[in-house]
Amino acid sequence: MSLLFIYSGDYGERVIRNLINDPSFCKSCGLLCDFCKYGVYSHVHKIRAAIELRDPSELPPLIENPEEHLPKRIPAADVCIAVGIHKDLLLALPPMLKDEGVKGLIVPIEDFREVPPGLQRQLEEKCEELNIEYAFPKPFCSLETIKTKPLISEFVREFKIGKPSLQITTEERGGTRIIHNVTIERSAPCGSTWYVAKKLIGRRVERDEIRDVVAKAHHSYPCTATMAVDPELGEPILHVAGHLIREAVEEQLFRFGVVEF
């Protein structure tokens, strides 16, 4: 599967660098880095292009001729990931994708103000008219496989990003059960799951301690989702992202009888 990125801002770059596994990307562990993720994977040859557009704050609130601010041509790819771009440019994107043979569009929502519900509905209608498969994960780390969306599901499986999924093993040490190893099956697109996993190793299998470790690691990475309260979710998108990684960990630890749902 091939990807095309059209983005503006740090979050889009973060996702790209995680997918190509840039060895200078993750600095979270500082001098204690043991290169846990480097050399494990790289999708650099599957990314056809990463096109950075001007920040929306540098453009007029209303753009009458969006084609003037979009690339003249884009390479053919299976899926386009559009992140952080101006609302009018985003709305003009589906026809261009269709013309170039792009079959899927993923628009991660890390801040509801960038893609309000009305804009999302307009984009969905355009994509359906043009037979483009689409997803609007809020946040990106909530994306899962969907039976009715085979292309999006293939993306999740092949690139192993979306809703975090882990395998945790434990062992007894001095009468205390601790986390021995954490294997990443699917990471949050920004790569934060790797950092959370690293912080879990060696910790006691005890609910409050684990929740504290996960919360601190998730905030320290840091998560880039907004702290503004999302009107649809009733809480900040950052909190939703935090719940998702905590649930992934707790689902594993539930096997040991330490977590109550």
Residue 204: how many other CB atoms lie within 10 Å? 16
In this structure, what DSSP letter does residue 85 have? -
* CA–CA distance, 87 with 157 (Å, rounded to integer): 29
Q: Is the pLDDT of residue 257 over 80?
A: no
Tell me the average pLDDT across 229-236. 94
Q: Is the pLDDT of residue 111 over 90?
A: yes
φ, ψ (nearest 5 deg) of residue 191: 90, 0
Residue by residue, what is the 3-state secondary structure of 117-179? HHHHHHHHHHHHHCCCEEECCCCHHHCCCECCEHHHHHHHHHHCECCCEEEEEEEEECCEEEE
Write out pLDDT tens, residues 3-19.
Answer: 999 999 999 999 999 99
Q: Is the pLDDT of residue 51 over 90?
A: yes
Mark 10-43 as b/e (b = at least 16 C-beta within 10 Å): ebbbbbbbbbbbeeebbebeeeeeeebbeeeeeb
Window from 33-42, 69-78, 87-96 with minimum mean pLDDT = 33-42
In this structure, what DSSP letter does residue 105 have? E
For the 3-159 domain, the top CATH level (class) is alpha beta
CATH number for the region 165-256 comes to 3.30.390
- Percent of the chain residues topping a pLDDT of 90: 86
Q: Is the pLDDT of residue 259 over 70?
A: no
- Percent of the chain residues topping a pLDDT of 70: 98
Q: Is the pLDDT of residue 112 over 70?
A: yes
Work out the mean pLDDT of the chain and round it to a whole number.
94
Q: pLDDT-based confidence at 32, cuts 50/70/90?
A: confident
Tell me the average pLDDT across 49-59. 96
Give DSSP secondary structure letters for 174-228: TTEEEEEEEEEEEB-TTSHHHHHHHHHTT-BS-HHHHHHHHHHHHHHTT--S--S
| 164 vs 24, higher pLDDT | 164
The β-bridge partners of 181 are 169
Annotated domain spans of the chain: 3-159, 165-256
Q: How many CA atoms lie within 13 A of 65 on its CB side?
A: 2
164 contacts 141 by C-beta, under 8 angstroms? yes
The pLDDT value recorded for residue 222 is: 81
Residue 211: how many other CB atoms lie within 10 Å? 15
Q: pTM for this one?
A: 0.94
Give DSSP secondary structure letters for 10-50: HHHHHHHHHHHT-TTT--TTGGG---SSTTT---GGGEEEE
Tell me the average pLDDT across 232-255. 94
